[in-house]
Amino acid sequence: MTKLDSGYKVTAKSAVIDVILTVIVWYLFALWFKPHVMSYEPAKVFFWAGFSALPAAGTFWLCLQMYKVTAAHQRKLKQEQEAEKE
């Protein structure tokens, strides 16, 4: 591994888990935003709440990716430090 390689590899399994988590968070944000939509029609309320929840879910996805890369890099550094001690 090079110095810039964090050690994190994207797999199909991790991508599916990320998508599932992001959809769950999107749904929770949409439920949270529903009372703030100024309409009485349920379809319009959920549409606008869901549309408003997209940036929040996108931000969650970016934070999740940054966390995974940072955690993988810290694990790699810890392994390298332990290998140097031996």
What pLDDT digit, counting tens, does each position of 55-82 carry?
Answer: 999 999 999 999 999 998 898 889 888 8
Of 53, 64, 55, 52, which is closest to residue 20 (Cα–Cα)? Answer: 64
pLDDT of residue 3: 64
Q: What is the pTM of this model?
A: 0.82
Mean pLDDT of the chain: 91
pLDDT value of position 86: 75
Q: Where are the beta strands (DSSP E) in 38-85?
A: none
Return the CA Rg of the chain.
Answer: 19
CB 52 within 8 Å of CB 33 = yes
The angle at the Cα of 83, spanning 8 to 7, to the nearest 5 degrees, equals 5
The domain locations on the chain are: 12-85
Query: What was the pLDDT predicted at 9?
Result: 82
Q: Is the pLDDT of residue 2 over 60?
A: no
